[in-house]
Structure 1
Amino acid sequence: MGHGKEVKTRPDPKVEIQEKGEIFFFYRPKVDKEEAHGPDDVQRMYIVLRPEHSADRAVEEKQAPDSGKEGRKHHHQGGAGDGGSGGGASKEEGHQGGHGKEEVNIEEQPLLRLVVMGKKSLPDPAKHSRPYWGYVELVTTKLQDIKDALKEEKYSTATRGQRRRPAARALGEGVYRILRHEPGGRGRRPHTHLVYKLELPTRGAREPQEAMNVEPEASFLVQVKNPDAPSGGAGRGGGDGSFRGLQSKRRAAFPAHLQGAFGSRRFAPADPPDLLNYEGCELLLIAASDDVEEELGLELEAEVGEGSQGEEQQRAAECSDLVKMFGEVADVKPLLSGGWD
């Protein structure tokens, strides 16, 4: 549906748009479950970010194509269990983080990031809760890689025999911005926001969305973990203490000019957003607001036209990029109906 547009509603709101694009939300039911009927049935929550070119940002820097899960997958030429599943089977836990660099003209080819949220939800944007930990699982220019990561997978284990990892379910589709905010005031440093506005579901029931805190619009502060810093306290960012960060070999290995953004700090703003283009990039999402306009003086405008709820839903489904790109591998019922499976 495109990346929409933004309107500044206050003079000089001190925000600078660094990246714009489309955002997609997915969840995966637990292993061997046919359906999910509530958050307890959810195994993982995913965010897919697809940056789009703008007048001043047509080229992004990403990890080298032979690194991370992207490189492992292509080395195995798409074979079974080659790392494209994204499901976390034990033999895939050892892949290296992204490293090296290449430039991608996002006007000519897609750039896609698959982010895993550790707590299987977003932080509640209306509450100042503890930061939620996540990490970049996959960065690729090939749509099929993301489709492979979301599709159903069957695999064998030594103790439980054949297991089935269900296909992901589509949870939301919208537009996003990554922006630098300079709040002003003594001692207040510039920081990075991820803001989004949903296009689907449009209106009506939103049971899975509400259960996983995917609000119609929201703003989060984004901080990236220094991969050279020790991981002892990373669990505090997970929201429940169960996440201690990725193993060192799975962390991103940023080029010197990006690693330099951290200095001696454990965390730094996602500035530039190229930091998110490396598999193994660990990040924190911190609830900021569920009213982007009030907080930042910026209003995101989606591309779903006015009409009755049924008309909106049908029109949106017909032009939905999520449905077009992932509908053959991810169940879109929760996206279109606002209900569980």
Structure 2
Amino acid sequence: MGQGKEVKTRPDPKVEIQEKGEIFFFYRPKVDREEAHSPDDVQRMYIVLRPESGERAVEEKQAPDSGKEGRKHGKAEEGHQGGHGEEEVNIEEQPLLRLVVMGKKSLPEPGKRGRPYWGYVELVTTNLDDIKDALEEEEYSTATRGQRRRPAARALGEGVYRILKHESGRRAATHTHLVYKLELPLRGPGEPQDALNVEPEASFLVQVKNPDPPSSGSGGGGFRGLQNKRRAAFPARLQGAFGSRRYAPADPPDLLNYEGCELLLIAASDDVEEELGLELEGEVELGEEDVEEEQAAARCSDLVKMFGDVADVKPLLSGTWD
């Protein structure tokens, strides 16, 4: 459906858009479960970000021979699990995909301030098949339980997103937001969307964790996070964005282009326009007749086109569990 567009509804020079693109939400039922009917049946929740334009057309990402992208092709050095090295990708000409895992298997409630939700970038790639492989069904053997099956992911939501810088408060402290607006499900959030806090639109503060934090003080916010070898290894330019801080804004968004990048999502608002003076609009507006037809929605859906052969799209199109 594309990256959509945004409309400023009031003058606000303190909002600066850094990245625009498509956002897709998925969940995976627990191992050996045929279906999921509640959050208790969910093993993982994923967010896929596909940047399509931004403040700069060229973004920096991990080197293709590092992280999962490299290991898939047998190129990464043993023991290096976080993304490292660097290459440039023109996101307006070449696909770039990030697979984010949410630790709590849901999003924070966007309209309710509370504890940050931790997540991490599991996979960064320019190859769509790498993401499809990560979402598809898998059978594997264990020493104690024999053959087991990891069910395929289910599509939960599709929409447009923005990563933006925002200045607020007397001290004009700059922070970054991840804001999105759903285009599917058509009828608004259904049972799985409500249960996993995927609202029709939302704004979250997003902070990136320093993979090499200062040793003094606790200051970790209670998130133990990934093991050292799984953390991202940022190039010096990006590592310098942290200074002596344990967390920093996602500025630039290139920080999210390294596997093992740990992040916090902090609920900000469920009304993007009221909070930021910015209204997001999707690419496709379906008429009333089309609303009654799931096939019409599927024809317009980039998620269905890209991932429909590996991920069940029923929750996306109907707003119901499996």
Considering the TM-score relative to the shorter chain, is it more than 0.5?
Answer: yes
1:41-79 Cα deviation digits (max 9, x unpaired)? 00000000000035x532110000111111111217xxx
Quick one: structure 1 residues 58 and 42, their matched pair in 2 at CA, closer, same or farther if it must change by over 3 Å?
Answer: same
Query: What secondary structure is seen at the aligned counterpart in 1 of 2:140?
Result: strand
CA distance in 1, matches of 2:138, 2:221: 29
CA distance in 1, matches of 2:235, 2:298: 40
CA distance in 1, matches of 2:62, 2:272: 31
1:332 and 2:318 aligned: no
1:103 and 2:88 aligned: yes
Match of 2:209 in 1: 225
Tell me which of 235, 241, 254 is aligned to 1:255: 235
1:146-204 Cα deviation digits (max 9, x unpaired)? 00000000000000000000000000000000000011x42341000000000000115
CA distance in 2, matches of 1:230, 1:328: 45
CA distance in 2, matches of 1:326, 1:95: 28
Percentage identity across paired residues of the two chains: 85
Kept after mapping to 2: 8 A contact 1:305/1:312 = no
1:18-45 Cα deviation digits (max 9, x unpaired)? 0000000000000000000000000000
Match of 2:31 in 1: 31
What is the Cα deviation at residue 234 of structure 1?
4.8
What is the Cα deviation at residue 317 of structure 1?
1.6
Match of 1:16 in 2: 16
Query: What secondary structure is seen at the aligned counterpart in 1 of 2:173?
Result: coil
1:60 and 2:40 aligned: no
Match of 1:180 in 2: 165
1:191 and 2:175 aligned: yes
Kept after mapping to 1: 8 A contact 2:176/2:249 = yes
User: Equivalences for 1:17-166 in 2 at 5 Å?
Assistant: 17-53=17-53, 56-75=55-74, 96-166=81-151
What is the Cα deviation at residue 312 of structure 1?
6.9
CA distance in 1, matches of 2:190, 2:214: 39
1:209-239 Cα deviation digits (max 9, x unpaired)? 00000000000000000000279765735xx
Count of residues in Structure 1 that have an aligned counterpart in Structure 2: 318
Query: What secondary structure is seen at the aligned counterpart in 1 of 2:73?
Result: helix
Quick one: structure 1 residues 200 and 229, their matched pair in 2 at CA, closer, same or farther if it must change by over 3 Å?
Answer: same
Structure 2 counterpart of 1:66, one-letter code: D
CA distance in 2, matches of 1:291, 1:59: 31
Quick one: structure 1 residues 266 and 331, their matched pair in 2 at CA, closer, same or farther if it must change by over 3 Å?
Answer: same
Query: What secondary structure is seen at the aligned counterpart in 2 of 1:317?
Result: helix
Query: What secondary structure is seen at the aligned counterpart in 1 of 2:133?
Result: helix
TM-score scaled to structure 1, two decimals?
0.89
Tell me which of 252, 269, 287 is aligned to 1:272: 252
CA distance in 1, matches of 2:181, 2:173: 26
Q: Gaps spanning 5+ residues in structure 1: where?
A: 77-81, 83-91, 238-243
Deviates more, 1:26-35 or 1:223-232: 223-232
Kept after mapping to 1: 8 A contact 2:61/2:89 = yes
Kept after mapping to 1: 8 A contact 2:291/2:297 = no
CA distance in 1, matches of 2:90, 2:315: 33
Kept after mapping to 1: 8 A contact 2:103/2:117 = yes
Quick one: structure 1 residues 150 and 235, their matched pair in 2 at CA, closer, same or farther if it must change by over 3 Å?
Answer: farther
1:236 and 2:222 aligned: yes
Q: Gaps spanning 5+ residues in structure 2: where?
A: none
Deviates more, 1:144-153 or 1:102-111: 102-111
